[in-house]
Amino acid sequence: MTTTTLRRWFVVHKWTSLICTLFLLVVCVTGLPMLFSEQIWDTFVGDDDPPYEVLPPGTPNTSFDIMVAKARAMFPGQIVTSVNPDDDEPAVLVSMAPSWQALKDDEKYPDRNSGHWIKFDARTAKVLKQSPLPDAPKKPRTWTGIILGTATRLHMNLFAGLPGALFMGVMGALFVASLVSGTVLYGRYMKRLSFGTLRRDRAVRLTWLDLHNLLGTVTLAWALVVGFTGFVNELQTPLFGLWRITDVRQILKPYVGLPEVSQANLSSVQAAFDTAAKAAPGNEVTGLSYPGAPFGSPVHYVLWTHGATPLRGRLFTPVLVDARTGALTGAYPMPWYLRFLEISRPLHFGDYGGLPLKLLWALLDMVVIAVLVSGVVLWAGKRRIATDVRLRALGFDLENVPTPGEAMQ
């Protein structure tokens, strides 16, 4: 490698690192409470749901149609918007609203929410809990909820919506570039030293440099994976938007303009779940949206399915079932770029291996924080040295410079 090429790599590493360091520190610090959000919530807030009824093992679930009928009886005149069985508990959430138009109007007013839900025991169809109605007094947010919510929004988009998400995606790309350029420089640097060397008997700046290089090398593979998948995750909004205006639009084109089916004339919800399970063998059906939902069809149930294994559990396949007849319209696997996005999520969040993997992710996250801090220390020290050199070139005697107190006397 020529001297000119080496200098170019150094410039790339310096500026990509400096530009993204502050934002990466925000991401790393906010990522820690996000990693353990479930444990934090359970410890400080807990769940006020009533206990589930003790039933014999293997008790079958009640038909979704019964739960939907109960929800409608509780709130006559409202529509059902979705039915979602819980992945971990024998529970089903039935979501309702005054109308689809009311939900669309909510988008104009951030503090307004016309929707609400009812939680049923999936085995007995007994009501376990309800969300507060839109006109009910709002409960004050807990400090735990505020902290976790703030950390999540800072981590994802700096409270700036889509522009903030895209900006953080650029910071993720710069982070990957800094890792690659740092690896190139480290390969040259290590030709003269043994791996893991910390020169404590030399200048302090050299010790910081050795520590920076060692920690960066140890976490290189993990940081590359998390940095790249973080960049990909920040693109989720435009990627899903692309899918909606291409594949989804083409699938729903024959049904555009049809009148929305009245919910009084819909086919069985339970039958729609069964049909979707057969249309996507090996998948689990995770939820159903009613006709009229945003980005849906005026005459179809949209059912979401995903694989049963930890990896395939991130790969979703939507299924359309005609809500007028109950007939299958089709199953439509997502395009490659959305499948890649979904697979990248567990690699970024480390949430597919239980608490041990979360602890490992947290440890590596703290090491990366140390790398970022040491990089800032090195940059600040370099600037101070460069300033001293320029002052000496101008004839200043830095050895006899008075202290601020002496200068004021």
Residue 384 has what pLDDT? 59
- Are both 156 and 109 inside the same structural domain? no
Strands 91-97 and 79-85: antiparallel
Which of 309, 326, 349 represents a domain boundary (last residue)?
Answer: 349
- Are both 73 and 104 inside the same structural domain? yes
266 part of a folded domain: yes
- Are both 300 and 159 inside the same structural domain? no
Closest CA to 171 of 29, 33, 34, 22: 22
Tell me the CATH number at 74. 3.10.450
133 part of a folded domain: yes
409 part of a folded domain: no
How many domains in the chain? 3
- Are both 335 and 367 inside the same structural domain? no
The most distant pair of C-alpha atoms in the chain lies apart, rounded to whole Å, by 93
Residue 299 has what pLDDT? 95
Between the alpha carbon of residue 295 and those of residues 101, 114, 241, 248, the distances in Å are: 14, 19, 10, 8
367 part of a folded domain: yes
DSSP 120: E
Residue 386 has what pLDDT? 56
Which of 139, 159, 189 represents a domain boundary (last residue)?
Answer: 139
145 part of a folded domain: no
pTM of the predicted model, to two decimals? 0.82
- Are both 340 and 245 inside the same structural domain? yes
Which of 327, 349, 371 represents a domain boundary (last residue)?
Answer: 349
Spatial contact of 65 and 59, defined as CB atoms under 8 Å apart: no
> Which structural domain range is residue 222 located in?
3-38+151-233+354-398
**Rounded Cα gap, residues 91 and 95, in angstroms:** 13
- Are both 134 and 166 inside the same structural domain? no
Phi-psi region of 84 (alpha: psi -120 to 50; beta: other; left: phi over 0): beta
- Are both 326 and 270 inside the same structural domain? yes
272 part of a folded domain: yes
Residue 409 has what pLDDT? 40
- Are both 244 and 345 inside the same structural domain? yes
Coil, strand or helix at 138:
coil
Spatial contact of 131 and 116, defined as CB atoms under 8 Å apart: yes
**Rounded Cα gap, residues 120 and 94, in angstroms:** 8
- Are both 131 and 257 inside the same structural domain? no
User: Which parts of the chain sit beneath pLDDT 50?
Assistant: 387, 390-391, 393-396, 398, 401-409
Residue 404 has what pLDDT? 40
- Are both 239 and 276 inside the same structural domain? yes
- Are both 339 and 363 inside the same structural domain? no
- Are both 345 and 358 inside the same structural domain? no
